[in-house]
């Protein structure tokens, strides 16, 4: 008898639990049974996956963060304020230099920066930071006209550094000036979302660059490829205003020099702009939650 009572009690308990569970609604149409699940969790929003999950990832930033191998890809150009009627301009480029000589092919004049190492140091709770680093700034100015730079000698002061190639029948396929700098950027960074993996940031400051290589490279119809090296009276030090804007995964940069890139004759202030590509941080790397 006790065994039977125990079995009955257990059966009532199981049936009560089963009644408490939500039962799916059923509907029969043309012999087909449709079951609707009443589970409230069945309609919950699916978890974020892949790219969206990465965008919303949270971080715990460290006091000092280091990055290696940041690359900028963009365009080089300059603001031309040269007085071509001046004696200085005519001495630098002969004969009868004018603004058409220096016109650029805008989408072929490119800038590539390779920041070997950069660091960010927190000043105020990661909302205000100081950025610095070192890298290479590579500028390529592609000219429309067949102008040629001439290597300077110390014995001839203010000798012409630029000339126009008017050789009959000669055509140019390529004509560029490359100016490369070893550059140190110094910026103040304002981070509006320091605990997001992809933050909203604005950085501004200045850079100091030293001209370590300048060359005029051209390709024409009869001489083929040729290259002329020298400083061409380009200013050896380049000081620039710089800025960077980060909008999540979109990173933009720009720079504008303090002065003309030439020591004499031409008044051309260079500027660059483009897209910045940052690899993963390798030192001081922040782990996402």
> Can you spell out the DSSP letters for 151-180?
---TTSTT---EEE---TT--EEEEEEEEE
Residue reference for tokens 């592609």 = 142
Is the pLDDT score of 235 beyond 90? yes
- Residue whose C-alpha is closest to residue 108's, from 182, 173, 181: 173
CB atoms within 10 A of CB 196: 18
Question: How does the average pLDDT of the chain come out, rounded?
Answer: 83
Burial of 127-158, coded b for 16+ CB within 10 Å and e otherwise, reads eebebebebbbbbbbbbeebbbbeebeeeeee
Is the pLDDT score of 42 beyond 50? no
Report residue 62's pLDDT band, with 50, 70 and 90 as the boundaries. confident
Alpha-carbon gap, residue 77 to 268, rounded angstroms: 9
Work out the average pLDDT over 147-161.
76
φ/ψ of residue 264, rounded to 5: -150, 160
- Residue whose C-alpha is closest to residue 230's, from 158, 174, 150, 284: 150
Report residue 145's pLDDT band, with 50, 70 and 90 as the boundaries. very high
Contact 131, 242 (CB under 8 A): no
Residue reference for tokens 């200013």 = 235
Residue reference for tokens 């720079």 = 255
Q: Kindly report the length of the chain.
A: 289
Burial class (CB in 10 A: 0-12, 13-18, 19+), 201: buried
Element (H, E) at 55: helix 50-55
The CA–CA distances, whole Å, from 127 to 168, 195, 245, 251, 287 equal 62, 9, 15, 18, 18
Is the pLDDT score of 14 beyond 70? no
Work out the average pLDDT over 62-88.
94
Q: Residue 279 has what pLDDT? A: 73
Alpha-carbon gap, residue 153 to 176, rounded angstroms: 21
């Amino acid at each position: 008898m006790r065994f039977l009572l125990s079995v009955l009690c257990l059966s009532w308990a199981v049936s009560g639990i089963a009644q408490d569970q939500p039962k799916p609604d059923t509907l029969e149409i043309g012999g087909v049974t449709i079951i609707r699940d009443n589970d409230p969790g069945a309609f919950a929003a699916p978890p974020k996956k892949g790219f969206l999950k990465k965008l919303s990832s949270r971080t715990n930033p460290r006091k000092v963060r280091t990055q290696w191998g940041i690359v900028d890809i963009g365009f080089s150009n300059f603001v031309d304020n040269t007085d071509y009627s001046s004696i200085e301009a005519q001495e630098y480029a002969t004969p009868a230099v004018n603004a058409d000589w220096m016109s650029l092919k805008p989408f072929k004049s490119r800038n590539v920066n390779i920041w070997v190492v950069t660091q960010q140091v927190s000043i105020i709770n990661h909302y205000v930071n100081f950025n610095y680093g070192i890298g290479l700034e590579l500028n390529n100015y592609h000219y429309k006209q067949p102008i040629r730079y001439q290597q300077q000698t110390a014995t001839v002061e203010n000798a012409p550094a630029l000339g126009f190639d008017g050789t009959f029948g000669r055509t140019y396929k390529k004509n560029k000036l490359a100016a490369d700098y070893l550059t140190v950027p110094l910026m103040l960074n304002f981070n509006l979302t320091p605990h997001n993996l992809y933050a909203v940031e604005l950085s501004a400051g200045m850079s100091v660059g030293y001209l370590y290589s300048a060359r005029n490279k051209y390709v024409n119809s009869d001489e083929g490829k040729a290259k002329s090296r020298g400083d061409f009276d380009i200013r050896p030090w380049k000081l620039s205003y710089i800025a960077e804007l980060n909008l999540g995964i979109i990173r933009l940069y720009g720079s504008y020099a303090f002065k003309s890139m030439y020591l004499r004759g031409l008044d051309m202030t260079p500027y660059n702009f483009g897209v910045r590509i940052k690899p993963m941080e390798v030192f001081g790397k922040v782990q996402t939650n």
